[in-house]
Amino acid sequence: MMFSSLSSKNSLFPYRLSPPFQAGDEPPETRCRYLPVRSAPPLAPSCSCVAARVLGRPSLASPRRAGRSSPMAPHGFGGLVTRSEGLRVGRKQRVVRFMEGVSLWMAMLLVLFVQPLYAEANTGNEDSAGVLHFVDGKGQWQEPALVLGSDFDVRVSGLIADSKLVRTFKNTSDDWREGVFVFPLPEKASVYGLTMKIGERTIVGEVQPRAEAKKTYETARDAGRHAATVEQQRPNVFTTRVANIPPGAEVSVELSYQQLVSYQDGVFELSVPTTLTPRYMPGEPLAVAPQQWQGGWALPTTEVLDADAISPFTVDVDDVAADSHRASVRFTIDAGLALANVSSPSHPVVAQQDGQVFTVEPQVGEIVMNRDFVLRWQAFAGQEPGAAVFHQRWDGEDYLLAMVVPGRAGKTRLPRELTFVIDTSGSMAGESIRQAREALHLGLDTLAPGDRFNVIQFNSQPHALFMQPEMATANNLARARQYVSGLSADGGTEMASALTMALQSQRAVGRMVAVSSESDLAPKVRQVVFMTDGAVGNESALFDQIRRQLGDQRLFTVAIGSAPNMHFMREAARWGRGSYTSVQDPTDISGPLAKLFAAMEAPVLTDIKVSWQGQSASALEDSFPRRSGDLFQGEPLLQVVRGVSPAGELSVSGRLPGGGVWQQRLDLQQAAPGSGLNRYWAREKIDSLLDEARVQAQEPQKSKITELAVEHNLMSPYTSFVAVDKTPARAPESALLKDNLPTLLPEGSQSGMVRYPQTATFAPLLIALGLLGLMFSAAITLLQRRAYP
């Protein structure tokens, strides 16, 4: 310890001081008088040295005081005796004694007061691994040293949106920094490029198997070279690391990714997620040693082994620098057809038209990265495309992307059994739960007499309104409305038990109903509507569960909040053979929900078969999705294929609920040139390999996926991007500090993470300093009086 050497040096003083007093060659009477004094000096310095030891200021108190008292005391001692005279001396002595007494008591007080501080010296400096550097040593919030800027440049061409995302890390500190940022991307994004820019230089990154990329990056980082890497944690959550950002300098990382534009009911939609809703990690925390790449608020649990990697700290906008976490966004839309309008439900935008091309930017310039940016565009009424074909030749292979929108079939409404599941976990607190309640009220409105329904809410535990689905009578509906209005959000997100309750109870009850009442024998369509923000870490296990428990039911998901986990929505609906929607505009919840509920009521196309006329069987092998899911009204069928030249035709057939057959043919010769189709195909193929593994409950074919990803220069669960500079920039002697950049709390949501408050006052310090000062002055007064009576 720092203080131990000091204290041993100081503690020498009393022993050095005491001999002059004990040397007894003074006149006897003065010796007697001075007996009480004798004890005082040795005690006082020893006290002040206790204080000094604790306060860490030895130079202030003990040596000066000790240095002054040791030569003076023997000196004044002699003088005092020779000049002393009668009463005057007696009074003086009393004052002196009184003062000595006071200082003695004060010293005692101080000793008692500061004594327990020894313990503290041992508990300090516990700076272990995994400490978050935006909270400083005092436990005070500290802004990250890195200022993060983002720039999205999205170019839409036909059905593919190609984005360049530039992340700028500006180092505002005097140290070298490593920046770590966990961020979301669209759920079906294919990341295909990484470029690092330092000043004028540009370094192009390459795809490497994940472990290899990590090693490359770490080696470069430790060698002081500029390096950047991006790895995939979830299909829509990524981590970027940038090593050796020089003090005061800026390093930018450009990420290229593409995504498919979603098209439903004649509306094209594209969303750019900017932040993550803090996720709930079910399971027991694992007691693992802090890992090297750790940096989240959550510890790995038995069910989410990488919880620390997908849980960046979430902070308020006010907690980051004023120019940090802002994004400039620019969309260039060339839809290939005349557009009636372009709008955004999430942000006010300005659109400029130049022929068929639209340029869209947010009205305010830079947007705060605390909610998804959503853009919609639409063709003129009556001119909505019903089909589209795109063709690309890449690396000697033909790639085709075809889209077919089934026409509207007549309505044949069947009685339904509808279960609403609403997420009332803590992450839904704030605006989200309000939206969810409203959405649920809208859902209850769609129930018709003859339908059965139930409402299940869940947080740490699920709770159902009715024991079993009840008839949609006015009375039951009123009860449900009251129940829904009283819902508030708090607690965990234990989705598995809620899913079980929703999917299993229906089945059991369905059987019971079939047996008990004969009038109810008419087939019921069983549907589950799941309203959530998807803020969970164990998505994969939940998809498994949905697949196992689904039976003949259908699961629909409704994404709630400013930054929902769209990967969860999409996949849960896919495994649940339903569809999904998201509430993007808090002022217009009914719009997207009306479409979903309409789709749920309309008949579904099943048994969809796709055939590429006049093509070999191998082409069918390379056509994705391998087995198309059911189609709801307004949903397009998308098919991507490799090795099919733009000739012949695509024929699609399906079965209508009444037993009728629906068929459509598409002439492939009219294909428009497209770009990025190979990446879309590769991503679809990787996804299909992962699906196969899930269905067969096996490990995915890692080597095959890696090979495919490297061939198409793609990011995947097993491949990462890494860019490394050749020459070292940081000298080995200067340290590199790590900065885990937080993400912003989604707008309208309440933070579930609370910082521990400051719970101590300066009172003890003030009292100690005051006592010390008083004691010190008392001692000086005492000595002065003794020296110059």
Partner 1 sequence: MNRSLLLLITSSSMLLLFGLWVPVKAVVAQELLEIAWAESQARQTESRPWPWADTWPVAKLSMPELGSSMIVLAGVHGESLAFGPGQMMGGGGQQEAVVIAGHRDTHFRPLKQLELGNELRLQSRDGLWKEYRVQTTRVVDSRTELIDTHKLPAGTLLLVTCYPFDSMDAGGPLRYVVEARAEGAARVVDVESLESDHNQVLYSQAILDEIDTVAGL
Helix (H) or strand (E) run with residue 234 in it: strand 225-234
Q: Whole-number minimum distance, CB 307 to partner 1, in Å?
A: 12
* Sole binder of partner 1 in the list 344, 425, 579, 582 (CB under 8 A): 425
> Residue 101 interacts with partner 1 (CB under 8 A)?
no
Q: Please check whether residue 759 is in contact with residue 254, taking contact to mean a CB–CB distance below 8 angstroms.
A: no
**Nearer Cβ to partner 1, position 645 or 781?**
781
Segment near partner 1 (CB under 8 A), from 125-133, 219-227, 380-388, 441-449? 125-133
Binding mask 248-287 for partner 1 (x = CB under 8 A): --------------------------------x-------
Q: Which residue has the tokens 């501080």?
A: 117
Kindly give the interhelix angle for 763-787 and 35-55, rounded to the nearest 10 degrees: 140
Q: Which is nearer to partner 1, 728 or 764 (CB)?
A: 764
Query: Is residue 774 close enough to count as binding partner 1 by CB under 8 A?
Result: yes
Q: Of the two residues 93 and 781, which places its CB atom closer to partner 1 in the complex?
A: 781
Of 37-66, binders to partner 1 (CB under 8 A) are: 54-55
Q: Least distance to partner 1 from the beta carbon of 123, Å?
A: 6
Q: How many CB atoms lie within 10 A of CB 139?
A: 11
Describe the crossing of helices 12-22 and 35-55 by its angle, rounded to 10 degrees. 170
Q: Per CB under 8 A, which of residues 477..496 are in contact with partner 1?
A: 490-492
Identity at 515, one-letter amino acid code: V
Q: Is 12 in the site for partner 1 (CB under 8 A)?
A: no
Rounded (5°) CA angle 597-549-522: 55
Residue 371 C-beta: closest distance to partner 1, Å: 21
In which residue are the tokens 């947080």 written?
Answer: 459
Strands (E), 416-573: 416-423, 452-458, 462-464, 470-471, 525-532, 554-559
Give dist(CA 166, CA 249) in Å, integer.
16
Q: Does 776 bind partner 1 (CB under 8 A)?
A: yes
Q: Find out whether 260 and 517 touch, Cβ atoms under 8 Å.
A: no
Q: Which residue, 634 or 742, is less far from partner 1 as judged by CB? A: 742
Angle at 90 between CA 88 and CA 92, to 5 degrees: 70
Contacting partner 1 within 280-299 (CB under 8 A): 280, 297
Establish if 131 lies at the interface with partner 1 (CB under 8 A).
yes
Residue among 224, 426, 510, 578 that touches partner 1 (CB under 8 A): 426
CB of 139 to partner 1, least distance (A): 4
How far apart (Å, rounded) are the C-alpha atoms in residues 736 and 732? 9
Applying CB under 8 A, among 27, 139, 348, 551 the residue interacting with partner 1 is: 139
State which of positions 444-483 bind partner 1 (CB under 8 A). 460
Q: Counting contacts by CB under 8 A, is residue 756 touching partner 1? A: yes
Stretch that binds partner 1, among 130-138, 396-404, 712-720, 731-739 (CB under 8 A): 130-138
Contacts of 426 (CB under 8 A, 6+ apart): 280, 459, 489, 490, 491, 492, 493, 750, 752
Q: Which of 598, 656, 780, 787 is close enough to bind partner 1 by CB under 8 A? A: 780
- Integer angstrom CA distances of residue 493 from 144, 207, 462, 577: 30, 36, 10, 23
Of the two residues 431 and 630, which places its CB atom closer to partner 1 in the complex? 431
* 587 is a site residue for partner 1 (CB under 8 A): no
What's the length of the chain? 789
Tell whether residue 513 is a contact of partner 1 (CB under 8 A): no
Contact region for partner 1 (CB under 8 A) — 336-344, 419-427, 440-448, 674-682? 419-427
Contact 784, 69 (CB under 8 A): no
CA distance between the termini of the chain:
44
Counting contacts by CB under 8 A, is residue 696 touching partner 1?
no
Closest approach, Cβ 238 to partner 1, in A, equals 24
Per CB under 8 A, does 109 bind partner 1?
no
Report if residue 771 touches partner 1, rule: CB under 8 A: yes
Contacts for 154 with CB less than 8 Å, ≥ 6 apart = 161, 162, 163, 270, 272, 329, 330, 331, 332
CB of 106 to partner 1, least distance (A): 10
| Residue 67 binding partner 1, by CB under 8 A | no
Paired with 623 in beta bridges are: 641
Q: How many angstroms separate the CA atoms of 103 and 780, rounded? A: 10
The H or E element that residue 148 is part of is: strand 146-157
Q: Is residue 193 close enough to count as binding partner 1 by CB under 8 A?
A: no
Q: Find the part of the chain contacting partner 1 (CB under 8 A) among 97-105, 247-255, 565-573, 759-767.
A: 759-767
- The residue count for binding partner 1 (CB under 8 A) is 57
Task: Choose the stretch contacting partner 1; rule: CB under 8 A; options: 110-118, 349-357, 392-400, 558-566.
Answer: 110-118
The reply to whether 762 sits near partner 1 by the rule CB under 8 A is yes
Select from 116-124, 397-405, 473-481, 638-646 the region that touches partner 1 (CB under 8 A): 116-124
Interface with partner 1 includes 759 (CB under 8 A)?
A: yes
Among 126, 200, 318, 354, binds partner 1 (CB under 8 A): 126
Closest to 459 measured CA to CA, from 417, 418, 508, 501: 501
State in angstroms the smallest separation of the CB of 293 from partner 1: 16
Neighbours of 596 (CB within 10 A): 25
Contact call for residue 316 and partner 1 (CB under 8 A)? no
> Is residue 14 left, alpha or beta, with left meaning phi > 0 and alpha meaning psi from -120 to 50?
alpha
Query: Do β-strands 176-184 and 160-171 pair in parallel, antiparallel, or remain unpaired?
Result: unpaired
DSSP secondary structure of 68-80: HHHHHHHHHHHHH
253 vs 489, beta carbon nearer partner 1: 489
Sequence letter at residue 459: N
Residue of the chain from 59, 82, 123, 516 that contacts partner 1 (CB under 8 A) = 123
Between CA 678 and CA 98 the distance in angstroms is: 95
| 163, 258 Cβ separation under 8 angstroms | yes
- Nearer CB in complex with partner 1: 659/757: 757
**Is the CB of 119 or the CB of 474 nearer to partner 1?**
119
Output 491 or 561, the one with its CB closest to partner 1: 491
Shortest distance in whole angstroms from residue 781 CB to partner 1: 7
* Angstrom distance (rounded) from CA 263 to CA 161: 12
Our finding on whether 2 is near partner 1 (CB under 8 A) is no
Minimum CB distance to partner 1 smaller for 409 or for 774 = 774
In 3D space, the residue among 593, 459, 606, 608 whose CA is nearest the CA of residue 529 turns out to be 593
Residue 763 C-beta: closest distance to partner 1, Å: 4
Using CA atoms of 762, 763, 767, 773 in order, give the dihedral in degrees to the nearest 10. Answer: 30
Residue 42: both structure tokens together: 């040795």
Q: Which residues of 610-642 are buried (b: 16+ CB within 10 A; e: fewer)?
A: bebeebeeebeebbbbeebbbbbbbbbbbbbbb
CA angle 497, 743, 364 (to 5 degrees): 120
Indicate the residue among 87 and 119 with the shorter CB distance to partner 1. 119
- Does residue 341 belong to the site contacting partner 1 (CB under 8 A)? no
Residue 94 engages partner 1 in binding (rule: CB under 8 A): no
- Written as one string, the DSSP assignment of 584-633 is --TT--HHHHHHHHHHHHS--BEEEEEEETT--HHHHHTEESSS---B-T
On whether the CB atoms of residues 366 and 327 are closer than 8 A, the answer is yes
Interface segment toward partner 1; rule CB under 8 A; list 35-43, 479-487, 700-708, 766-774: 766-774
Binding-site ranges for partner 1 (CB under 8 A): 54-55, 114, 116-117, 119-120, 123-124, 126, 128, 130-132, 135-140, 280, 297, 425-427, 460, 490-492, 752-774, 776-777, 780-781, 784
